[in-house]
Amino acid sequence: MPHPSPTGTLPADTTGAMLLAAAVIRQAWLDRISPSEHIRGEAQRFWRNPQAVSFWADALDVDPDRLRHAALTRVAAKGRTAG
């Protein structure tokens, strides 16, 4: 998805589907570190499901495998340093 311009407006070719996909991925990203065990578990299930991540990532034309790897690796690294 294209980045907003310096004025904060989105490019004209940004679609509602792109905005929805960005919101879903953003929420799943944030949920990885939720204080709620249930929400963290739901996020982990999402990130471990290649089809789910691919569905949303494709709408943004981003690499789903790279996105999944970043999400799962950063959570694992956070868990190692937190304990």
Q: Taking the domains of the chain in order of start, what are their residue ranges?
A: 16-82
Number of residues in the chain: 83
Q: Which residues of the chain have pLDDT under 70?
A: 1-8, 76-83
Q: Which two tokens stand for residue 56?
A: 């949303």
pLDDT of residue 83: 37
pLDDT of residue 78: 63
The three-class DSSP label of residue 83 is coil
pLDDT of residue 81: 44
Q: What angle do CA 65, 66, 72 make, to 5 degrees?
A: 85
Q: How far apart are the first and last CA of the chain?
A: 36
pLDDT of residue 50: 96
Q: Where are the alpha helices (H) located in 9-63, listed in sequence order?
A: 16-31, 37-47, 50-60
Q: What angle do CA 12, 26, 45 make, to 5 degrees?
A: 135
Q: What's the number of CA atoms in the CB half-sphere (13 Å) around residue 37?
A: 0
